[in-house]
Structure 1
Amino acid sequence: MEEFPLQLSSGATLVRSGTHLDVRPPTGKPNTKPKHPAWKVPLKRVLWASVAGESLEVALVVDKKGLVKIDGKVKEGGGADAGKWAEELMTAAYAEPGAKPQRRFLVIVNPHGGPGKAAAIYKKKVEPILSAARCTYKAIFTEYYQHAVKIGEELAVDDYDCIISISGDGIVHELYNGMAKHETPRKAFRVPIAPIPAGSGNGLSLNLLGLKEGNNVVAATLNAIKGRPMAVDVCSIVQDGKRTFSYMSQCLGLMADLDLGTEHLRILGSNRFVYGYLRGVVTRKSYPYQISIKAMESDKQKMSDALRADLERPLETRFIDPNESLPDELPPLRYADDDASDWIKLDESFNFLYGGKCAYVSRDLMQFPAGMPNDGAVELTLQRSVSRGDMLSAFDGAENGIGFWRKSNLYYKAYAYRCKPLQKKGFLSIDGEKYPFGEFHVECHQGLGTMMSCYGHYATEDNAALKPPPAKLPN
Structure 2
Amino acid sequence: MIEFEKYKLLIRNLYITRLLNYITIIAEIMAKDESAGSSPIDSYENSNGYSIVLKNERVEILREQKEVGSVLLEDVLGVHQVTQDDGVKLVVHGFPKTKKIFRSEARSLMKLVVHFDSDNTAEEWKKKIIVQSRKVIQEKYDWYQGKEPSADPRKYLVLINPVGGKGKAVHIFRTQVQPLLNLAGAECQVVVTEYAGHAQSMMKTFDLSSVDALIIASGDGLLFEVVNGIMERPDWENAITTTIGILPVGSGNALCASLLYEAEEEFSVANATFQIICGAVAPMDVLTANTVEGTKYFCLLAAFGIIADIDIESEKYRRIGELRFIFGAISCILRKKAYPGKLSYLPKDAKLQDTISSVADSQVTSSPKEDGELVVTNGVESPTNETSDNCIESHHETPSKTNNDVSEAAANPTVGIEVNSVQTGPPTPFMNKLSEPVPSNWVEIDAEFMNISVATISHLAHDFFNTKQAYVGCGTIYLLYAEANLTSRMDLFKLMDRMGKGNHTEMNFVNMVEAKAFRIEPSEKSGILTLDGEMIPFGPFQAQIHPQLGRVLGRRLKRT
Shorter chain as denominator, the TM-score bin is: 0.7 to 0.9
Alignment counterpart, residue 472 of structure 2, candidates 373, 387, 403: 373
1:296 aligns with 2:336: no
Q: Which moved more, 1:3-12 or 1:161-170?
A: 3-12
Structure 2 distance, partners of 1:198, 1:6, is 42
Report if aligned partners of 1:297, 1:412 keep a CA contact under 8 Å in 2.
no
More helix by share: 2
Structure 2 partner of 1:442: 543
Structure 1 partner of 2:192: 141
- In structure 2, the CA distance between the partners of 1:44 and 1:449, relative to structure 1 (3 Å rule), is same
1:332 aligns with 2:384: no
1:347 aligns with 2:446: yes
Alignment counterpart, residue 220 of structure 1, candidates 272, 290, 301: 272
Structure 1 partner of 2:296: 244
The number of equivalent residue pairs is 417
1:407 aligns with 2:508: yes
Structure 2 partner of 1:112: 163
Structure 2 partner of 1:264: 316
Quote the offset at 1:370 in angstroms.
Answer: 2.2
Structure 1 distance, partners of 2:188, 2:73, is 23
| SS of residue paired to 1:262 | helix
Amino acid at match of 2:301: S
Structure 2 distance, partners of 1:46, 1:183, is 38
Structure 1 partner of 2:130: 90
Structure 1 partner of 2:493: 392
Report if aligned partners of 1:106, 1:138 keep a CA contact under 8 Å in 2.
yes
Quote the offset at 1:218 in angstroms.
Answer: 2.3
- In structure 2, the CA distance between the partners of 1:40 and 1:455, relative to structure 1 (3 Å rule), is same
Report if aligned partners of 1:205, 1:214 keep a CA contact under 8 Å in 2.
no
Quote the offset at 1:9 in angstroms.
Answer: 7.7
- In structure 2, the CA distance between the partners of 1:112 and 1:14, relative to structure 1 (3 Å rule), is farther
Structure 2: gaps spanning 5 or more residues: 1-36, 97-105, 139-144, 351-422
Structure 1 distance, partners of 2:109, 2:232, is 38
Could you list the runs of 4 or more consecutive aligned residues of structure 1 that deviate by over 6 angstroms after TM superposition? 7-13, 24-27
Q: So what's the TM-score if we normalise by structure 1? A: 0.79
Structure 1 partner of 2:115: 73
Larger Rg: 2
Report if aligned partners of 2:165, 2:322 keep a CA contact under 8 Å in 1.
no
Q: So what's the TM-score if we normalise by structure 2? A: 0.68
Please give the residue correspondences for 1:7-18 in structure 2 after superposition, counting only pairs within 5 Å: 14-18=52-56
Structure 2 distance, partners of 1:349, 1:407, is 17
Deviations 1:407-426 (A, max 9, x none): 31121222211111112332
Quote the offset at 1:104 in angstroms.
Answer: 1.7
Amino acid at match of 1:150: S
| SS of residue paired to 1:261 | helix
Structure 2 distance, partners of 1:133, 1:417, is 43
Alignment counterpart, residue 125 of structure 1, candidates 163, 176, 181: 176
- In structure 2, the CA distance between the partners of 1:285 and 1:20, relative to structure 1 (3 Å rule), is same
- In structure 2, the CA distance between the partners of 1:104 and 1:82, relative to structure 1 (3 Å rule), is closer
Report if aligned partners of 1:357, 1:371 keep a CA contact under 8 Å in 2.
yes
- In structure 2, the CA distance between the partners of 1:372 and 1:46, relative to structure 1 (3 Å rule), is closer
| SS of residue paired to 1:341 | coil
Structure 2 partner of 1:315: none
Quote the offset at 1:172 in angstroms.
Answer: 0.7
The share of aligned pairs that are identical, in percent, is: 25
Deviations 1:228-256 (A, max 9, x none): 22221111121125000111111111101
- In structure 2, the CA distance between the partners of 1:84 and 1:180, relative to structure 1 (3 Å rule), is closer
Quote the offset at 1:109 in angstroms.
Answer: 1.5
- In structure 2, the CA distance between the partners of 1:168 and 1:8, relative to structure 1 (3 Å rule), is farther
Structure 2 distance, partners of 1:39, 1:201, is 39
Quote the offset at 1:441 in angstroms.
Answer: 1.2
Amino acid at match of 2:524: Q
